[in-house]
Amino acid sequence: MAEEFLLFHKFPDEDSAKDFAVDLEKVGIVYKIETVPSFMDSNIMGALADSYFIVKIPSSDFEKANTALREYYKNFIETVDKDYYLFNFSHTELLEIIARPDEWGYFDYQLAQKILATRGTPVNETTMTRLKESRKIELAKPEKDQWYLLVIGYIIIGLGFLYHFRPGGFVLSSYGVVFSFLIGSILAFHKKLLPDGSKVYSYNKETRQHGKIIIALSIVVLCFTVADFIIFNNE
């Protein structure tokens, strides 16, 4: 079975994505470049978000690709303008960037290290490893309880069951049950991608269990609604 290609990095333009792809080829990493279009045509109402390009690679190559990405951005920090905003950051603020490269981006991540080194306080490999592991643990933590999604899911199931008794309620009931099924699926099975390419469940065990219950109830109500419609033509 072919290994799944996962999102590794985003680039604002195609040329940058292709330049980095050359570095991936040098270290033997296969990749895919995909375009993510803007949400809205800027000629009509203005784009809600600019299009960008993503590089996907197998999860087993994430560690090697991270090394290539660091080297890629090192080529740019040598020519950065001295009025770039990071040069005004304090020691603590620069360490925060190094601890959270997934939030700040790899360019700022590399530049923060260089600035600290020029100030005489370089970050050693031991500290880098510790920060990386701490960030991974933090990112792997389940999201906060999505109680509102649970409430919405259960309410929609109840309304879906009740609405099928009303004239014309079959369609509304079906849409509602399908929507609750999607909510349950997200809560039960959604996973988030960590910087090293591994995946963990987005929600805690209790929330995932509720998601599975919502899925089961959605299926039961949908089957009941369809059977009732077929047998009694109860539209």
Give the separation between CA 185 and CA 183, rounded to whole angstroms.
5
Instruction: Give the torsion through C-alpha atoms of 19, 68, 30, 62, to 10 deg.
Output: -140
- pLDDT band, residue 235 (cuts 50/70/90): very low
- pLDDT band, residue 196 (cuts 50/70/90): confident
Tokens read off for 169: 């309620």
> Are 116 and 163 within one domain?
no
The reported pTM is 0.68
Q: 182: domain range?
A: 147-232
> Are 226 and 151 within one domain?
yes
Report how far apart the first and last C-alpha atoms of the chain are (Å, whole number): 46
Q: For 7-19, how does the pLDDT look when each residue is reduced to its tens digit (9 = 90+)?
A: 898 888 889 999 9
Residue 181 domain flag:
yes
Q: Which of 65, 76, 71, 67 is nearest to 7 (CA)?
A: 65
CB 99 within 8 A of CB 131: yes
10 φ, ψ (degrees, to nearest 5): -110, 145
Residue 74 domain flag:
no
What pLDDT is attached to residue 163? Answer: 66
Mean pLDDT, the chain, rounded, equals 83
CA distances from 222 to 156, 170, 171, 225, 234 (A): 12, 10, 11, 5, 14
Among 81-85, 196-200, 209-213, the range with the most confident prediction by mean pLDDT is: 209-213
> Are 104 and 175 within one domain?
no
Q: For 36-73, how does the pLDDT look when each residue is reduced to its tens digit (9 = 90+)?
A: 876 534 333 444 456 788 999 998 899 899 889 888 88
What pLDDT is attached to residue 47? Answer: 44
> Are 35 and 93 within one domain?
no
